[in-house]
Amino acid sequence: MTTALIVSADEQRAWQIREALSAADVEIGQVFATSHALLHRLAQPGEAPVDLLVIDENSTPMNQWDLIRELGVRQPTSAVLAVVTEPQPEDYTAALSNGARGVVRFPLSYEEIASLVESAVGWSAVLRDAVATPTEDTIDRGGKILVTAGAKGGTGTTTLALHMALRAAAHRPNDRIVFVDLDLQKPDASVLLDVPQNRNLTDLLGVIEELTPRHLDDVLFRHPSGLRVLFGPEHGEDGERVTEFAARQMLSMLAARADLVVVDIGSVIGEAGATALEMAHTILSVSTLDVLSLRGVHRQTELWDRLNIQTEGSVRIVLNKVTKNSDLSPSAAKRILNYPLLEAVAHEDTKGLEAAVNRRDAELASPVWKQDLDAILQELGIIAPPSIHDKPQRPRFGRGGKKKKGSDSPEALPPGGQNSSPAPAAQADHGQLPPRPEQPPAVGSQPTGALQPAGASAPVASADNAEASLKRPRSRSRFRRAGKAGSEHGAVSIEALGIATLFGVCAAIAFQMLLVGVTFVLASHAADEGARAAAVGDNATAAAVSATPGAWADDMTVSQAGDRVTVRMKAPTLIPKTSDFALTIPASAGVVKEPS
C-alpha cells in the first residue's frame, strides 16, 4: 500500500488533504505542521523511504517550492505532489523546475488525486528499480552538509573547518568534497590557501534564479588536494546581497552534486548563515576551554532554539585549542554544556598552525593536529575509522625473526651482499651440501652446527642444519638505531658539559665580584681604625693592619698625610696567576684630634 507524508500549516486543509488521500487508498504516515519537522523525520536513520510526499502551499518556514527542491535532494526516489489553490501556469512551471511530479488543485477531487497518485507512485517505483541500491556507507556519507559555527570570535572556526575539509578530501579521494566560506564579513579561506580570489559566490547572484551546475563549476576553485572551494565575497559589504534564497539555491545544488559540503558561517549568524543551519545535517559549534566561549555556546544554541532553525539532534560541540595547562578540563565543560560534546578534541598546535597560516600552506600543520581532525571526522561519521588492515605491518624480518623460505629481501642476503653467489642457499634448499671451502676454518672458529668439510669424521649435516647455518647477518637497521642512540647520548653529554661550563664561569664571576665588595668594606674599616689610632697619638699603620684579616693585610698599604689616613688594599683573585691584574681599592678617613 502507498504511504504518504503531508506538510500543511493549516489544520483544516491538512484534514481535507488527508481525507482525500485516504479515499484514494493511500495510507497516511504522518501530518507535519512545519517543514523542519518533516526534514527531521526523513533524516532519522533506519527510516524506510516514503512513496509519496504531499506539500501544501502554506508550508512554513520553508516555502512550498524550496521545500520540494530540498526533498528532491534528500529523497530523490520519493514522488512529490504540490497542493495549490487555483493553480496558474507559473505554478506548473515552478513544480516542473523544482522536481514535483504534479500539482493538485485544492479542494481535492477523488478522480484527480487518484490519477496523480497512481502516476507519481508508479514513477517512484520505476526509479527505485532502475537505481542500484546504495551501500550503507554511501547512504551515510553522500550529500551531507556540515556547518561549523564559532561560539565567539577567536575560537579558530575557519581554520578548523577548512582543515577538516582538507582531511576529508585526503581520506575520500574518490568523493566530491566542497568547502563553502559563508563567513560573509570575514572570509579568510583564500588567505589560508594562498589563492587569488578571482571568483567568489557573489558572481552567482546575477544568475541565482537560473542557477545551473555549470555556473557553480565556473566559480568553484579546485585545490590540488581534490577539495573544491566556494570563496566568500571579496568585500564585506557584498555579504548583504547574499539572501536566504541565494544561499538556499547554492547549498541545495552543491549538496545535490557533492558527497560532503562543509560550510563555515563564522560566529555571527545572518540570513545566509541561518539558511545553512536550517539545511545542515550536522552543526558543529566550535568552542575553547574558557568561560566566555562556553557561555557563547549557551547563547548561540539558545538563539537557534528560539529561531527554530536547527534540526533536532544535529548540534554537536567540539573543543578547540585544548592544552594540558587549561584551567578547565573537557569533562568539566561536558557537564556545563547542554548539547552533546564530542569526545575528540583539537589540541593547540601553536607552532604548526602558525607556520601553516603564515606561509599559507595547510600541509605544514603538525601530525598531531591532523590526527585530532581525523578523530573528529570519525566521531561525526564523515570518514571511516581505521581498520586492522590500515595499521602498519610488522617487518617480515623483525628482531630475532627468521628468514622465510624463498624470500628475496636484501636483508636476507649473505654477508657478501647482493653480488654474492646464491649457490649455497639454493643447494641447501634442494637438500644438497654447499661446496667445500678452499681452506678449512681454523680450529675453534667454526660455529656450532656449521657444516663439516669433506672427509671429516663428524657426520654430514642435514639440509635443515645447512639452512640453519646460513643465518642472516644482523640487520643494518639495528646498527643504525644503535648508532643513532649513541649519537643522541653524545649530543646530550656535550650539551650538559657546555651548560656546566657556563654555569661555572658565571659562578666564578659572581664570586670574584663578591670578593671586590668585601675588599671595599675592609679597606674602609681599616682606614677608620687607623684614623682613630692617629687621633690619640698611636701608630695608624699598626691599628689598620690589626683590624684587617690576614688574606687582605698582606697586600695592604697604609699612609698618613696631614689629617687623613689612606689605605690601599688589593682584592684577592680566584686564579693566582692573575694577581697582577687585581683591583686596588683605596679608602681614606679623616683624623680628628681629641682635646688634651
463 within some domain: no
pLDDT in tens, 523-555: 898 888 888 888 877 888 888 888 888 778 877
- Regarding whether 228 and 97 lie in a shared domain, the answer is no
- Spatial neighbors of 273 by CB under 8 A, at least 6 apart, are 149, 182, 184, 265, 266
Q: Are residues 119 and 149 in the same domain?
A: no
User: pLDDT tier at 287 (50, 70, 90 boundaries)?
Assistant: very high
pLDDT in tens, 226-244: 999 999 998 888 888 999 8
What is the grid cell recorded at 501?
Answer: 661550563
CA 362 centroid distance within chain: 11
Same domain for 276 and 205:
yes
CA-to-CA distance for 235 and 202, rounded, in angstroms? Answer: 10
Residue 412: inside a domain: no
- Which segment of 104-118, 288-302, 387-401, 446-460 scores lowest on mean pLDDT? 446-460
What's the CATH number where 60 sits?
3.40.50.2300
Distances (CA, A) of 214 to 131, 256, 443: 24, 13, 85
DSSP letters for 403-442: PPTT---GGGS-TT-TTS--HHHHHHHTT-PPPPPSSPPP
Cα–Cα distance, 219 to 217 (Å, whole number): 5
* pLDDT score recorded for residue 177: 94
Same domain, 223 and 83: no
Shared domain for 24 and 115, answered yes or no, is yes
Strand extents, DSSP E, 201-241: 221-222, 228-230
> What whole-number distance in Å separates Cα of residue 32 and Cα of residue 114?
22
CB-based burial of residue 381 (10 Å sphere; 0-12 exposed, 13-18 middle, 19+ buried)? middle
Please indicate, yes or no, whether residues 362 and 509 belong to a single structural domain of this protein.
Answer: no
Same domain, residue pair 318 and 343: yes
**Confidence (pLDDT) at 538:** 81
210 and 117 in a common domain:
no
What are the cell numbers at 524? 674602609
* pLDDT, tens digit (0-9, with 9 covering 90-100), for 152-193: 988 899 999 999 999 999 999 999 999 999 998 888 888 888
Same domain, 149 and 113: no
Strand partners, 431: none
Identify whether 526 is part of a domain: yes
The pLDDT assigned to 540 comes to 82
Among 131, 157, 176, the domain-final residue is 131
Same domain, 298 and 168: yes
**For position 466, what pLDDT does the model report?**
42
Number of domains in the chain: 3
CB 113 within 8 A of CB 244: no
Can you give the residue range of the structural domain that contains 20?
Answer: 3-131
Query: What does 11-30 look like in DSSP terms, one character per residue?
Result: HHHHHHHHHHHHHTTEEEEE
Q: Output the CA torsion sign for 143, 155, 368, 365.
A: positive
pLDDT tier at 269 (50, 70, 90 boundaries)?
confident
Q: Among candidates 49, 6, 48, which has minimal Cα distance to 26?
A: 6
Is position 419 within any domain? Answer: no
**pLDDT for the residue 461:** 41
Residues ≥6 apart with Cβ < 8 Å to 352: 364, 365, 366, 368, 369
Is-cis flag, bond preceding 89, omega within 30? no
Same domain, 119 and 190: no
Would you say 533 and 554 are in contact if contact means Cβ atoms under 8 Å apart? Answer: no
Contacts of 448 (CB under 8 A, 6+ apart): none
Phi, psi for residue 212 in degrees, rounded to 5: -125, 165
Contact present, 300 and 332 (Cβ < 8 Å)? no
Residues 158 and 294 in one domain: yes
Would residue 84 count as lying in a domain?
yes
Q: Is residue 469 part of a domain?
A: no
